[in-house]
Structures are given as C-alpha cells and as structure tokens.
DNA sequence: AACGGGCGCAACCGCCCAGCC
DNA sequence: TGGCTGGGCGGTTGCGCCCGT
C-alpha cells in the first residue's frame, strides 16, 4: 500500500508558479525562515503543497541561486564528479555554488549525458578498431562510487623522500580502506607535508587535522598533482601557476590519474558494502582548507 | 503562416531516511 | 522499539518555446 500523501491535494494549485505566489513565498521565508514546509502553505496563505513550496524555494527563489549558462569549468567539474559519484545530483550540486541539483540533473540529461554517451559509443567503436583516443573523458570510466557506508577518517599525504625519485602519493586512509593501518589514528589526519598556499612550497613537518573540520570538498579542492609536483599533461592551462586560487578551475578537480588511482587501487571500493559514506559527507562540506 | 517534432526546464511523484515521541 | 513526520533525493512528466518543413 502506498503511503499517505504529504498533503491533501484537493483545492491546491498545481503547475507553474505565478509571480504572486513567488512573492508570497519569498516574503514568508524572509520573515520566518526555511523549514516546517508542511505548515508553510497554510500559514503563508498559499494554495500549494508544502513539498512544492520547498522545491520552488530551493530550486528557483533562493537568493543565492546562480542562473544562466553552465560554464566550461562547471561542466568539466560536473562530468568528473558524475564519473566519481554517479547520479548523486545533490552532492554534485554541493560542489557548484549557486547551482541546484535539479538544474544539474536537467543539464546532464539534456546535454552532458548525451554527449558522454555519444563519446563513449564513439570510443568503443574506435577501441574496437584497435585505437584509443587520447584525453577522452569517456574512456576508461572508472566504476561509479556509491556514496554510502564506509568511513574515511584519515588522509595521509606522504612527503617526498629525499633522494627518492618516487613521486609522493596521496593516500586515503581509514579503518576500512587504508593500505597502511599502522598509521591509523581515529579522527585525525596526518599530513606529512604541508603545502603553502601562497608560494606553493612544501614543508615536511607533520600535522594533525581533525577530520570533522576537513571535508572531501577540501580534498577535491586540493590539487594533488600540483602538490606532488606531478606535471599536468592534460590541461595546458594547468599548473603554470603554483598559487592556489579559489577561482582557478583546476583546483576544483582531481586529475584522471588520481581519480583512477582512488577507484582502482582499492582505496575506494565501488559498490562495496562498505561504501564511502564519508565521501558524501565530505562533498557536502563547504569549508575550505585554504580559507578562500 | 501553420504545423509538428524536438528540446529544455520547472514541477511533480514516490521512495527513503533520520529524528522525535 | 515502533510509528509518525519532516525533509531530502532521484526519476519522471508535462508544458512552453524554438526551429525546421
């Protein structure tokens, strides 16, 4: 049996919102704030379902909504995050200030999805013929990470070893997905090297972070290749400047190798029972490590 | 100018989960 | 502990606009 409807639909307006309804809703929320959606229509004098009011506010009326064309940077970020997260539109939207999950979902369904599928089909044909196009986002798509379950309490960035030719590798570490449990220390993060946001220099001192204060969004913001002095081969614009800029698009994303490493080396287990819940939590954080 | 198909986007639907009692 | 409620989420629908014929 179905559950009871969120509200009686009798006598309620449906369909497109009028300017007058928008005004009433906006004014009401300005005064009383968000929440109590079920009672809001009655109190505000709207003939709308509470859920409808909530949706209208979140997707359209909120003052911080950014409307207009999705930029190239945003598009690239959406593609990469979708690669990582799948259809977790709210999480993806959380990384795009001013964008709503609905907008991103629509944009994906009408633009990116088609394009990626088309490229995918093209790539599979080319691959079938023994060639593989370079720098194609649709090629070697790693398994989607489902953002549930597993904890991720630590991130360790191993500092470059003196005299070592090895590139330093960022490691996600926690009780479930670490490959080096000996270093595990709950609720903390050890960073063996600290990046100076101003000059890009790296210090080797150890530092603990409280993971409550550090989100994966920060990790997403953290340019590992830059940090690790890994040359960015894919993006000609990338890493010509060591500074960490809040407006620079490359700081918003991992490079493909990092993504694949995370998804391919067991650090992050796609479709595992112990999924990356923390990843989801991380992505919701808007705190910025570098205090942008 | 009229018509029809395609597209984009706002809105709706139904399920799920967390919190509260 | 279980039921109820509020709120969030992803999928789907439907309407209006645009463009080609």
**Nucleotides in C strand less than 7 A from protein CB:** 5-12, 15-16
**A16 CA vs B1 C1’ separation (Å):** 29
Taken in order A135, A138, A141, A146, is the CA torsion positive or negative? positive
Nucleotide lying nearest to A54, CA to C1' measure? C7
Which residue has 């953002």 as its token pair? A147
**What local confidence, expressed as pLDDT, does residue A255 receive?**
46
**A164 CA vs C9 C1’ separation (Å):** 47
**What local confidence, expressed as pLDDT, does residue A126 receive?**
65
| Cβ within 7 Å of nucleic strand B, residues | A 2-3, 5-6, 9, 13-17, 48-49, 51-52, 55-56, 59-60, 67, 102-103, 105-107, 109-111
Task: Count other C-beta atoms under 10 Å from residue A53's C-beta.
Answer: 24
**A69 CA vs C21 C1’ separation (Å):** 30
**A29 CA vs B16 C1’ separation (Å):** 26
Q: Is A275 left (phi over 0), alpha (psi -120 to 50) or beta?
A: beta
Closest CA to A266 of A185, A146, A168, A172: A172
**What local confidence, expressed as pLDDT, does residue A172 receive?**
34
Mean pLDDT for each 10-residue chunk of chain A (292 residues)? Answer: 49 81 85 81 84 85 80 84 82 84 84 70 64 41 39 33 37 31 32 33 33 41 38 33 34 45 41 39 38 33
**What local confidence, expressed as pLDDT, does residue A129 receive?**
63
Protein residue with the closest CA to the C1' atom of nucleotide C16:
A16
DSSP conformation letters of A93-153: HHTSTT--HHHHHHHIIIIIHHHHHHHHHHHHHHHHTT---TT-TTTTPPPPPP-SS----
Nucleotide lying nearest to A148, CA to C1' measure? B17
Distance CA A116, CA A242 (A): 31
**What local confidence, expressed as pLDDT, does residue A111 receive?**
79
Task: Count other C-beta atoms under 10 Å from residue A135's C-beta.
Answer: 9
Beta-sheet strand order (sheet of A170-173)? A170-173, A154-157, A188-191, A207-210
With contact defined as beta carbons under 8 Å apart, do A271 and A147 qualify?
no
Nucleotide lying nearest to A15, CA to C1' measure? B11
**A164 CA vs C12 C1’ separation (Å):** 55
């Amino acid at each position: 049996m179905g559950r009871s409807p969120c509200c009686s639909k009798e006598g309620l307006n449906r369909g497109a919102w009028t300017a007058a309804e928008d005004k009433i809703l906006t004014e009401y929320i300005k005064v009383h704030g968000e929440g109590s959606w079920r009672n809001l229509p009655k109190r505000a004098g709207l003939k709308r379902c509470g859920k409808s009011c909530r949706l209208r506010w979140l997707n359209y009326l909120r003052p911080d909504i950014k409307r207009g064309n999705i930029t190239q940077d945003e598009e690239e970020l959406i593609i990469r995050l979708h690669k990582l997260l799948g259809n977790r539109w709210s999480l993806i939207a959380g990384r795009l200030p001013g964008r709503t999950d609905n907008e991103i979902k629509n944009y994906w369904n009408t633009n990116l999805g088609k394009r990626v599928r088309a490229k995918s089909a093209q790539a599979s044909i080319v691959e079938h013929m023994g060639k593989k196009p370079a720098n194609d986002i649709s090629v070697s798509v790693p398994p989607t990470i489902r953002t549930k379950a597993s904890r991720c309490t630590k991130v360790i960035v191993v500092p470059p070893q003196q005299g070592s030719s090895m590139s330093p590798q960022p490691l996600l570490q926690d009780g479930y997905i670490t490959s080096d449990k000996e270093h595990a220390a709950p609720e903390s993060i050890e960073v063996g090297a600290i990046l100076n946001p101003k000059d890009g220099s790296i210090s080797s001192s150890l530092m603990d972070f409280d993971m409550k204060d550090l989100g994966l969004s920060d990790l997403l913001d953290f340019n590992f290749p830059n940090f690790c002095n890994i040359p960015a081969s894919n993006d000609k614009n990338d890493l010509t400047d060591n500074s960490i800029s809040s407006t620079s698009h490359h700081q918003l994303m991992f490079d493909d190798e990092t993504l694949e490493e995370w998804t391919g080396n067991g650090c992050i287990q796609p479709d595992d029972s112990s999924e990356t819940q923390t990843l989801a939590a991380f992505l919701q954080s808007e705190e910025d490590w570098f205090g942008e």
